[in-house]
Amino acid sequence: MVAEPPHQDGKKSLATRIATGAAWIVAGRLLMRMMGFINLAILGRLLTPADYDYIAVVFSVMLVLQGMTEFGAAQAVVKFRDASKADYDTLFTLSFIRGVFLALVLLGLAVPLANFYGDKAYIALFCVVAIVPFLEGLFNPRFFEFERNINFIQELKVLASRQLLAVIVSVTIALLTRSYWAMIAGHIVGTLAQLILTYVMVSYKPKFSLSEQAKVLGFSGWVAAVGFVSTMNLKMDSLFLAKIFGKGDVGPYWMGVQLSQLLTNEVANPVGRALFPGMSEMQDNTEGLRKVCLGGGQALGAIVLPLAFGLSFVAEDLITLILGDPEKWHQTVPVVQFVAPTLGIYFITSPIYQYVMAQGQTRLLFFRELLYFIVRVPLFIWAAIAYGFMGAVYMRAAAGLVQMTLNMGIYKKLSGRSFFEPVLVAWRSLAAVAVMSVWFLLLRPHLDMIEALPLLVRLGIDAACGAVLYIGAHGIIWQLAGRPAGVEQVILSKTHPLIAKFSR
């Protein structure tokens, strides 16, 4: 049954719709992450770190090319609130051209990259993975109307279906072959399922047309430039390390970065996606935009910071639980320990991206990413060559703080407010995390009795103690601060009726 994207409900406040939209995305991504967690746990036991070297390189090349050519179809649909059939046809045509181009580039790079890395296995891998961008180029652009209307339930259905099929295919093939081809096949099947469902969920008959290319590219030009440099920043690490270190080290590094993002991205990205369509409704209200931006940062700080630091503190036990043999994946532990906390701190300032986009100042985002690239990439290569694996880890962690600093500079430029305001808005969460850290850094190392307990029990105790300390400290600090308006008040208003209901 085709579902038409629902129109906005004027009776609901913008803040309510943003919160509801973010909640649906979080629920969906947590569901997908749970399935991905199962997939990772099984494949981590069936495959070797060397298998993940291939996956890291092939996926990184594909994602770099996708990022280099991204023109922001979803953002264009959200931005153009009165998009016409001609607009959608233009978006479809541009996406199709991009998909065909990327597929041909991947085919063309297969032999040169196989020679560059000294491994002929890459030829077949790049030829097969070229199917993915071609399929993505056929996606239904009208499906992004759900995002524009801050209604993510339909997207949840599509992405959950994609992930479920990908997991089933990956695990089945891994059990039969014990080969890296399992992940490639799962990714292709998942992409095909998503393509079909975008048309099942929303009626649209594509037509090749470029009649509105000036309008679309006028907005998307800087978005594409931002995506190009941003992807170079985020996805080039594995490609550099594969050449510098050879086989065996890239897989653990790539796996560590994925695990570092295990929880933080599942909260931060949904909030950001829900904020942008909400902010786009306030394009002419700069003060309102600023407050929404800071509110988003405060909410992210309250949720992401304890997750990121907690992940770092239990990294060794968690990796053993997920991937099995601790010796096989021992290099992954320090990646999570150092990268996860800086990601958590960075995400406090991540709503600045939507703040800038809503004001149409994408040029600033491009120059931010360009400066970040110029500083980060040479330092990362130097650190990896000079100090090996741990040098790469330390530089990846430091990069998050550099990007946060650049975000704060943009915020100061656009708002005229304090440089530190985007971080200080989350000061109560930072203080509560410091209290939580007491358990992991000062108390836990001296409790040998806990160390002797089974792995799941240890993780449960650590999670419970960390949560109690964080929530308790956060509540006390909020009370001492005079109960100011903020995320605590929102959570209390939502949970109080439930508590009252169940306490009757």
How far is the C-alpha of 162 from the C-alpha of 194, rounded, in Å? 6
Q: What local confidence, expressed as pLDDT, does residue 383 receive?
A: 93
For the ranges 262-266, 307-311, 359-363, the maximum mean pLDDT occurs at 307-311
Position with higher pLDDT, 324 vs 117: 117
Asked which of 7-11, 168-172, 389-393 is least confident by mean pLDDT, the reply is 7-11
Question: Residues 290-317: pLDDT tens digits?
Answer: 888 888 888 888 888 999 999 999 999 9
So what's the pLDDT on residue 386? 93
> How confident is the prediction for the chain on average, in pLDDT?
81
The sign of the dihedral angle between the CA atoms of 198, 276, 278, 267 is positive
d(CA 127, CA 113): 12
Closest CA to 427 of 467, 478, 465, 471: 478
Looking at residue 270, what is its pLDDT?
62
Which residue, 126, 129, 59, 138, is CA-closest to 98?
138
Q: 462: number of CA atoms within 13 Å, CB side?
A: 28
Judged by average pLDDT, the poorest of 48-57, 150-159, 247-256, 265-274 is 265-274
Give the pLDDT band of residue 8 (cuts 50, 70, 90).
Answer: very low
Assess whether pLDDT exceeds 80 at residue 21.
Answer: no
- Distance CA(107)–CA(451), nearest Å, equals 51
Q: Please write the tens of the pLDDT for every residue from 202-214.
A: 888 888 888 777 6
pLDDT of residue 191: 93
Average pLDDT over residues 38-51: 75
pLDDT at 2 over 50: no
Dihedral sign from CA coordinates of 169, 171, 177, 182: positive
Inter-helix orientation angle 237-245/213-235, to 10°: 40
pTM above 0.85, yes or no: no
Instruction: Yes or no: say if 413 and 429 are a contact pair by the CB < 8 Å rule.
Output: no
Place of tokens 């070797």: 48
Contact present, 176 and 51 (Cβ < 8 Å): no
Per-residue confidence (pLDDT) for residue 4, from 0 to 100: 46
**How far is residue 296's CA from residue 364's CA, in Å, rounded to a whole number?**
20
Can you list the pairs that 431-435 forms with residues at least 24 positions away whose Cβ atoms lie under 8 Å?
431/473, 431/477, 432/305, 432/306, 432/470, 432/471, 432/473, 432/474, 432/477, 433/305, 433/306, 433/309, 433/470, 435/469, 435/470, 435/473
For the cut 80, the answer to whether the pLDDT of residue 77 exceeds it is no
**C-beta of residue 327 within 8 angstroms of C-beta of residue 294:** no
State yes or no: pLDDT of 23 exceeds 70: no
Q: Indicate the range of 74-88, 115-129, 248-262, 400-414 predicted with least confidence.
A: 74-88
| pLDDT at residue 10, as a whole number | 44
38 vs 451, higher pLDDT: 451
pLDDT digits (tens, 9 = 90+) for 278-296: 666 666 677 878 888 888 8
| H/E stretch holding 374 | helix 362-415
Asked if pLDDT for residue 369 goes beyond 80, the answer is: yes
More confident residue, 504 or 243: 243
Handedness of CA 410, 412, 416, 422 (dihedral sign): positive
* Burial of residue 141 (number of CB atoms within 10 Å: 0-12, 13-18, 19+): buried
Highest mean pLDDT among 39-53, 283-297, 372-386: 372-386
Averaged over 51-77, what is the pLDDT? 78
DSSP state letters, 152-195:
-HHHHHHHHHHHHHHHHHHHHHHHHH-STHHHHHHHHHHHHHHH
383 token code pair: 């650190």
Closest residue by Cα to residue 240 from 114, 381, 121: 381
Q: How confident is the model at residue 11 (pLDDT cuts 50, 70, 90)?
A: very low
The percentage of residues in the chain with a pLDDT greater than 90, rounded to a whole number, is 31
**Residue among 426, 173, 445 at smallest CA distance from 316:** 445
Alpha-carbon span 55 to 122, nearest angstrom: 10
The angle, 0 to 180 degrees and rounded to 10, between the axes of the packed helices 121-129 and 181-201 is 10
Q: What's the confidence (pLDDT) of residue 31? A: 65
Distance in angstroms (rounded) separating the CA atoms of residues 487 and 427: 12
pLDDT digits (tens, 9 = 90+) for 105-157: 999 999 999 998 888 999 999 999 999 999 999 998 888 776 666 556 777 77
pLDDT exceeds 80 at position 184 = yes
- Burial (CB count within 10 angstroms: exposed 0-12, middle 13-18, buried 19+), residue 234: middle
